[in-house]
Amino acid sequence: MTTTATVPPVPQVPSGPLLSAEGLHVTFPARRGDTAPARAVDGVDLDIRAGEIVALVGESGCGKTTLARSLLGLVPPTAGRVTFTGRPLDYSSRALKAYRKRVQLVLQDPSGSLNPRHTVYDAVAEGLRIHRYGGDEREAVSTALSRAGLRPPERFFLRYPHELSGGQRQRVVIAGALVLEPELIVADEPVASLDASVRGEILALLLRLRSELGLSALVVTHDLGLAWNIADRVAVMYLGRIVETGAVEDVLTAPQHPYTQALLSVLPEAPGDPVVLTGEPPDPSRIPTGCRFHARCQILATGEAERAGVADACRREDLPVLDGGGGAQVACHWARASAVR
Ligand SMILES: Nc1ncnc2c1ncn2[C@@H]1O[C@H](COP(=O)(O)OP(=O)(O)OP(=O)(O)O)[C@@H](O)[C@H]1O
Ligand code: SF4
Ligand SMILES: [Mg+2]
């Protein structure tokens, strides 16, 4: 896989998760045409430790944004909980306001998240004003713009979003998140709308912020190559669950779950033939019994699961929620059976 960002040294990571999902479920009421509620997040355990970058990957509709929004307190869980520094989130508006100062969202589309009538200065200062910042606003805005790589910052103060490139707009969005000096950012597809040439720059910026400020991040992405470039740990999500998680090198060089294997097999650099997933695209209002991936699983379809003696279990038994912490973990009967042989 190609590396587009230069990776700075990883800082010492203190133990204990900063942000955790514990048995998290988010279910939306059935929409017209659906026969059942949508279990968009269906039992997720996930830890993000201080100074760590975790990539959350999976195909469209698997529940990444819903999980990210729930971690930010924007969507209350139907069951389970979110904890920050060991304490469960308090969903009162005052507590959520304080929480969102410490955990900031960076959205996918910089044009959509910047008001076209606001200057860069006002866009970045907005968070300070919402939180009634008592310090020197101009100084804080300058620092945030510099940290986001817009230098000299004064040159950008009076510009409007349409006067900036896509990469510069994304940096303004990042500056707007940084100005409140958060401990963690949740970035939902932070480079999806950018040209390949500026993607690497934005990824390098996120890595630099981690190394200089100790900032932690959850980066939501479709793109496994991006996860490889930026993350310490990766969590692969399928139909509302994390099906594989572990250190990036482990998961991306030796994937255990057939779904992760299929995602990796279609990357341009991947050796061998791509695995074309068959079956219906995943629908959270119709989660199958047994392994939720079984109707599309290439290992089951080719008889490998049968040969390993796990095919019945694949069709019958839902797999336990992964604990979301430390080492590589996989929610697959066949992968587990293969590991013990
Ligand atoms: N408010 C809602 N009401 C009902 N269903 C919803 C709602 N929001 C999301 N969903 C459904 O939940 C599932 C997960 O959506 P989500 O946006 O979290 O996926 P995603 O992984 O972020 O997808 P993408 O990669 O396309 O952004 C989808 O099937 C979606 O249609
Ligand atoms: S448990 Fe079975 S069906 Fe599910 S991914 Fe593993 S091999 Fe495939
Ligand atoms: Mg999304």
Q: Among 35-44, 306-315, 332-341, where is mean pLDDT lowest? A: 332-341
What are the pocket residues of ligand 2 if the criterion is a CB atom closer than 6 Å to any ligand atom? 258, 291, 293-294, 297, 299-300, 305, 314, 332-334
> What's the mean per-residue pLDDT of the chain?
90
Distance between CA atoms of residues 224 and 267, nearest Å = 8
Residue 325's pLDDT band, with cuts at 50, 70 and 90, is low
Q: Which CATH number fits domain 19-235: 3.40.1190.20, 3.40.50.300, 3.40.50.720, 3.20.20.80?
A: 3.40.50.300
For residues 96 and 73, the answer to whether their CB atoms sit within 8 Å is yes
Residues 6+ apart with CB under 8 A from 290: 313, 314, 315, 316, 317, 318
Cα distances from 127 to residues 13, 97, 136, 179, 229, in angstroms, run: 28, 11, 14, 7, 30
**Amino acid making up residue 266:** V
The pLDDT tens digits of the residues spanning 157-197 come to 999 999 999 899 999 999 999 999 999 999 998 888 788 88
Q: Nearest-CA neighbor of 234 among 226, 8, 266, 270? A: 226
Write down the pLDDT at residue 193. Answer: 78
Distance between CA atoms of residues 144 and 179, nearest Å = 5
Write down the pLDDT at residue 110. Answer: 65
Residues 6+ apart with CB under 8 A from 112: none
Tokens encoding 165: 């490139």
Write down the pLDDT at residue 8. Answer: 53
Tokens encoding 258: 């057939």
Give the ligand whose atoms come closest to the C-alpha of residue 244: 2
- Cα(223) to centroid(ligand 3), Å: 12
- Cα(91) to centroid(ligand 1), Å: 22
State the average pLDDT over residues 95-111.
87
Distance between CA atoms of residues 319 and 244, nearest Å = 11
Distance between CA atoms of residues 212 and 138, nearest Å = 22
Q: Among 21-35, 227-241, 327-341, where is mean pLDDT lowest? A: 327-341
Asked whether the predicted pLDDT for residue 328 surpasses 70, the reply is yes
**Amino acid making up residue 97:** K
Write down the pLDDT at residue 1. Answer: 45
Pocket test for ligand 1, best of 24, 62, 70, 224 (most atoms within 8 A of CB): 62
Ligand 1 atom closest to residue 62's alpha carbon, by position in its atom list: 21
Residue 131's pLDDT band, with cuts at 50, 70 and 90, is very high
Query: Residue ranges of the domains in the chain?
Result: 19-235, 255-340
Give the ligand whose atoms come closest to the C-alpha of residue 64: 1
What residues does the ion ligand 3 have nearby, CB within 5 Å?
65
Write down the pLDDT at residue 109. Answer: 66
Residue 340's pLDDT band, with cuts at 50, 70 and 90, is low
Asked whether the predicted pLDDT for residue 260 surpasses 60, the reply is yes
Rounded to the nearest 5°, which phi and psi values hold at 95? -65, -40
Ligand 1 within 6 A of 60 CB? yes
CB atoms within 10 A of CB 274: 12
Ligand 1 within 6 A of 38 CB? yes
pTM of the model: 0.92
Distance between CA atoms of residues 144 and 174, nearest Å = 8
The pLDDT tens digits of the residues spanning 279-308 come to 777 899 999 999 999 999 999 999 999 999
Pocket test for ligand 1, best of 25, 26, 28, 219 (most atoms within 8 A of CB): 28
For residues 305 and 314, the answer to whether their CB atoms sit within 8 Å is yes
Distance between CA atoms of residues 78 and 4, nearest Å = 39
For residues 23 and 84, the answer to whether their CB atoms sit within 8 Å is no
- Cα(237) to centroid(ligand 3), Å: 12
Residue whose Cα lies nearest atom 11 of ligand 1: it is: 40
Pocket test for ligand 1, best of 39, 65, 219, 220 (most atoms within 8 A of CB): 65
- Cα(333) to centroid(ligand 2), Å: 6
Ligand 1 within 6 A of 66 CB? yes
For residues 170 and 188, the answer to whether their CB atoms sit within 8 Å is no
State the average pLDDT over residues 253-266.
93
Residue whose Cα lies nearest atom 26 of ligand 1: it is: 60
**Amino acid making up residue 137:** E
